[in-house]
Structures are given as structure tokens and as C-alpha cells.
A and B are shown apart, each in its own frame.
Chain A
Amino acid sequence: MSADHRQGAPFAELLLGLRGAGLPVGLTEWMTLMGALKTRVIKPELTDFYRVARAILIKSEVQFDLYDQVFAAVFGDAEMPTALADELMSWLDNPKALPELSAEQLAAIEQLPLDKLRELFEQRLREQDERHDGGNRWVGTGGTSPFGHSGYHPGGIRVGGSGRHRSASQIASERRFQDYRSDRVIDVRQMAVALKKLRRLSRSEGQPELDLDATIDATCKNAGELELILQPPRKNQARVLLLMDVGGSMDPHARLVERLFSAANGLGHWRQFGAYTFHNCVYETLYESMWAQEGVSTEEVMRTLDPDTFLIVVGDASMAPTELVSPYGAIDYWHRNETPGIVWLHRLRRRFNRAVWLNPLPQSWWRGYTVELVSQLFPMMPLTLEGLDEAIDHLLRGKPAPVGELDPSLIRSSW
């Protein structure tokens, strides 16, 4: 008994380690593994235990790496997985809160052109040798220097952290949201189950099929004389257009959006499904993927899709106001859009009356001019399971009211 007990210790540690690392190892799998140990299916050597335990406990190849790290930590001398220890990054990892700024302070913050900014950034990185928080010069957190994060500067360079004011003209940070589980708000399967409700059944097209129940009824009424009842099959007539923001501020949500795309794309139960991407705001061109150089014209997409199409836009709606309401305001320097983004959004909304906007940001973050403008045009729901359910209910609800004209005073070419 005591020998058994000792033997069980590292195994329990493995289970706790795996669960602690966020791997969804349940008791069912654990009991299976214990059964395998008891019946000596596993050879009495660590390498065999390693691979058999992996096959029983881990059900996705993306989790293998984490399993390896936990396993090594429990059974070997290796260390438990730790976050990256880069010194600069560690200063930036625990941001100090930003004090509220007065209007004068905001006005006082200088706005620098991009190349000057870059030059200064590199220069200050060379000079800086310690942690800085709350200042206005060094790379740090919570301050008003143009460099660092969690601070405020109208056109600064973000270093690490996530953009709190979401208008940094350029992101000098690596993607830090590589963790699969921490942002796992909903998985593909749950999304697919929710999206499945988005259907519109009708019996109009296709090869007729035998309606067995009706045939039996009719045959009985006919005193046994066979009468076949045929009906066109029930087909889902719903069309879906999915537009996804892949601009810089959406980077933290890339996985979530990807999941929504694969759920919608994999479902294959719609009559027509189109998916395009855009950067921050929709203009005259939509792109088929994040990397696509050539796009398709937004007008073309609007024209070819039936007005009855369900339009689902995914984006944080957070951008510089100019990107939304000014001609030539697009974030890409070489992109010269004559028509402001808000006009395009309005056109989309008028063409597709059944439309929703899914925002991956938590609802409490929905602040700022652009979010407000967009949510006046589109019913906005959070990109969570409840939000998705709500959005689908909204799409399916009765006939929506037509959309009015766009208020021309919203469009501004100068600030």
C-alpha cells in the first residue's frame, strides 16, 4: 500500500501539472491511464509511459508542446515553462495604471511624425538602462512618452503590452498573445453549433424526394392502392457574408476571429458563403485573405450577393477617427480612398438589411468616437458565446427597419 502510494505521487503531480498548465485533462482520461498502468499495457519504462500517457491524455497536437514541458518538469530536471525573461519585456509586463490626464496635459503631448518617432525610439532604447513607469520620455508603462505601452500618446510606438488607447500608429511589439487557452473564450465547435441556427429552410429547389409518412397516409386512404407523395427537399437558403477586420489592433483577437471563420466555413450548410478581410475599416476593396495583395471590389461583392444575405462584420471598430470619416483617411499610407469608410459601411448596411457587428473587445471597452459611430449603424454584440447567440437571434428576427440616409455632417476632411 505504501509502495503503491509512493509510486502514485509523480503521476498525481503530472495530472496537477497538466491541469495547472491549462490542459483539459479530465478524470475519464486519468482513469483510463490508471487502468492502462494496472493492466500493464504500458511497458515499465519512462519513454513508453510518455507516449502512451500522451495518447490517452492529450487530444490535440497543438497541446503536445505543453505536455512535453510539463512532463519534463515532473519526471526530469527541466524547469516548468516560464514566460519570456527578456528584461525590457518584464518591465513592460506589469503595467502601472495611467493617471487621468487633463485636457491641457493631452494638448501638451507633442505629436511627432513617424520617421522622427522611429529615430527617437531607437535612440532612447540605446540610452535607457532601467525600468521607467509614468514618465514622459523613456520606454516604459503608464506614461505619456511616445514609447512603451498602457500610456497615452496620440501617435506613439507601442512596445509590448496591449494597446489601451488603440491608436498607436505602429506596433513595435511582437505578438505576445500566443497562448492558445487563455483567450479561449469559445471554441470552433461551440461557434459552429451557434451558427447552425442561422438557416432559412424552404422547399423550392432540387430533386424531389419521397415523403414516406405522407405516402403511407395517402396509400391507406387509397385502400392499399399505392400512392407516392413526392416533395422537393428542404434546403437551407441562407446566404452569409462574413467581413473580418485584420488590422493591427485586432492582432490579439486573431485566433478568435480565425475560429469564427473556420466554424462558419466548415459548417457548409449555407446556400452561399463569402468571407473577406479588411484593415480597420471597409473601403472600396475587400481582401480574400490577410496576405492577399489583390482584392475584390466592395461594390462587386455587394452587387453579386442577394440583399437578403446575412452580413456579419467582425472588428473592434477602434481606429483613428480620420480612418472612418475622412476621405483619404485609410491607415495604409499608400491607400488613397476618396470615399470615407463610414460611407462604405453605410452602403453595406443599406444593401444588407440583416446585419450585425461582432466586437471581440469586452463590452466595457466599447468607448471612443469610432465605436460609437459604428454601433449607431450596426447592432453591436460582443464576440462571445452569448453575444453570438444574441447576434443570430437578431439576424433571424422579423423584418428589420430600413436604414436612413447618412448624416453628411459626419464626414470631415480636416480636423
Chain B
Amino acid sequence: MTQPTSFEGTEQYIASDDLRRIVDVAVALERPLLVKGEPGTGKTLLAHAIADSLGMELLTWHVKSTSKAQDGLYVYDTVQRLHDSRFDDKKVDDISTYIHLGPLGRAFASDKRVVLLIDEIDKADVEFPNDLLHELDAMRFVIPETGEEVAAKQRPVVIITSNSEKELPDAFLRRSIFHYISFPTRELMADIVRVHFPDLGAELLEHAMDSFYALRGVDGLRKRPSTSELLDWLGALMATGVAPESLREHVPMVGTLIKREQDLALLARAAKGPGGRGR
């Protein structure tokens, strides 16, 4: 069985030509791939698709505002050791039993090449990406408690997503490959929808896309509806059996597309204005 060498997207994930090439380049150059784009354009799903397509295991590190770079490498469970020494008859001399590798550590230690997803790196502290620079560059680190060195047997494919909540440090950017997932064109969007809803009628799709892109075009929306919202909405439309022509007059279940109260108010105001479609 031969392993595919280039990323082709998957049945569930339609990637543009550009994105497919950039993934290949990042894999070949062994550089982290930084992916940005509007929320809901499939940044996180990309890593899953790459893992599927290249037949590799996926390790995920969901970054939170409290995450520290160290957590990705390893955690030394001192409390457990203290507990064991006091209440259990276990031997506590061997510190390595209390060292738990984090996602980055596991990606290095793995015998096979894996895909490592560092999700929403901008959620963490501003210094977080810089703290990872050395480890991502050298693909190795030392655990001082045991003196053990964890070095990558196979350099993992590193996919990093960012929602641009915070600016990333220059030094970090210089070392990564960057791709911006632009919002899908109508044609690509139609392909994506067909993958998820093969039974969707052409007429409903046409009308739904009209309404969807019109909504996205409304000025001043704080959060414009994206692919995932469109898919949810289409699912809801199909489940309730809406007549395709009725979409011209009225957008049902607008709450699945527009999530913010201010945006709903804005739409209501826009609808009242001249040329609006009423309620």
C-alpha cells in the first residue's frame, strides 16, 4: 500500500488548488503552516483533512487563554508524586512515570510522522508563539527533571490556525508558511454544499445561495455568516421543507445564519428601509 505524497483534499473537505499546493510545500519544506481566514472557513477541519488524506495520525492541541508553551511539551505531575509518596506504597523514585508528554511532545516521540494541529494559537498570551519557536525549529527539547531528551524521529506536519485576535510575533511568522483561506466563491461553495447535501435540489440551492450572499453583502455586520452557518441553515431548510421560491420574499430561520443580536437588529432596520424585502 503506497502512501499518498500530496494533499488532495478529501471527500468531505474540498480544498482550493492554492491551498492544496501550499500544504504540499509546507510538508516538503518541513515548516509549520499558519492558516488564517474568516471564522467558519474550515481552518481546523483542514488539519483533519490533511491527516486523512496523507494517512497520518492527528494530534490536536487546543490553545486556550491560559495555555503555556510548556504544556505542549510535557507536564510533571508533582501532586500525584507527592500523593503517592504519602498514601500509596508505590515507588516514587522514577520521576519519568510522573512526566506526561503534551501534544507537541507526543508528536516528537511518535515513531510515525504525524499531523500536529495547534488550534487558535492567538488565544494564548502574546508571548506564547515565541516560547515555542525553539522547539518548532529544532524539533527537540530536554526534560530537566529526568535529563531525558525528546527529539522528533519524524518531523511532524505542523498546522497552526489563528483568528487574528492577536498579532503574532515577527520571528514566529518568519519561520512559517502562510495561507489565508479566502471566503469560497459561489462555485466552490456549491461544490462544498453538494458534498454535505447530495440530495439538495438545484433550485433550493440557487435561491439559498442568493439569500446567503446577499446577507453577507450587508454592510456593517459584526459577524458575517460563513460556510458552517450556511450548511446548518441548509440542513434546517431541508428538514422543514421550505419552498425554494419563498426564499425570495423572506429568509426563514435567520437565527441560524446571524448569531448576534446587533446584527439581527441591523437587518431589521435595513429591511424597513427603501428596497428592503420587508419582514
Contact = CB atoms under 8 A, between A and B. Distances in A.
A296 interface: no
Interface in B14-55: 18, 21-22, 24-26, 28-29, 31, 34, 36
Interface string A9-43: 00000000000000010101100100110010110
B197 interface: no
A229 interface: no
Given A266-B165, A266-B166, A32 B18 contact: no
B66 to A, nearest CB: 11
Interface string B169-190: 1100111111110100000000
Interface of B: 18, 21-22, 24-26, 28-29, 31, 34, 36, 65, 78-79, 82, 86, 126, 165-170, 173-180, 182, 220
Contacts of B24: 41
20 contacts: A28-B174, A28-B175, A29-B174, A36-B25, A36-B29, A41-B24, A41-B28, A42-B25, A48-B21, A55-B22, A56-B177, A56-B178, A61-B180, A61-B182, A189-B168, A192-B126, A215-B82, A219-B82, A266-B166, A268-B65
A371 interface: no
Interface in A194-246: 196, 210, 212, 215-216, 219, 224, 226
Nearest to A36: B29
Contact of B21 (A52, A64, A267): A52
A60 B165 CA distance: 13
Contact of A187 (B18, B167, B175, B182): B167
Contact of B29 (A28, A35, A189, A212): A35
Interface residues of A, number: 37
A59 interface: yes
Interface string A263-274: 000111000000
Contacts of A181: none
Residue in A61, A187, A192, A267 with the greatest tally of chain B CB atoms within 10 Å: A61
A189 B126 contact: yes
A89 interface: no
A385 interface: no
Given A24-B170, A196-B126, A226-B86, A55 B177 contact: yes
A58 interface: yes
- Judged by DSSP, the binding face of A is helix
Contacts of B25: 36, 41-42, 52, 55-56
Nearest to A219: B82
A59 B167 contact: no
A158 to B, nearest CB: 26
Contacts of A32: 29, 31
A51 interface: yes
A193 interface: yes
A210 B18 CA distance: 50
Contacts of A52: 21-22, 25
Contacts of A56: 25, 177-178
Contacts of A192: 126, 166-167
Given A192-B166, A196-B126, A226-B82, A59 B21 contact: no
A334 interface: no
Contact of B22 (A51, A215, A216): A51
B86 A210 contact: no
Given A35-B29, A51-B21, A196-B126, A189 B169 contact: yes
A372 B94 CA distance: 69
Contacts of B180: 61, 64
Contacts of B220: 291
Nearest to A27: B174
Contact of A41 (B29, B78, B126): B29
Nearest to B87: A226
A88 interface: no
Nearest to A40: B28
Contact of A212 (B78, B166, B167): B78
Contacts of B26: 55
A187 B170 CA distance: 11
B201 to A, nearest CB: 35
B79 A210 contact: yes
B178 A59 contact: yes
B29 A188 contact: no
A212 B22 contact: no
Contacts of B126: 189, 192-193, 196, 267
Contacts of A268: 65
Contacts of A219: 82
A216 B79 CA distance: 10
Contacts of B175: 28
B129 to A, nearest CB: 10
Interface in A349-407: none
Nearest to B179: A55
A337 to B, nearest CB: 27
A26 B174 contact: yes
A203 to B, nearest CB: 17
B166 A59 contact: no
Nearest to B122: A266
A24 B126 CA distance: 20
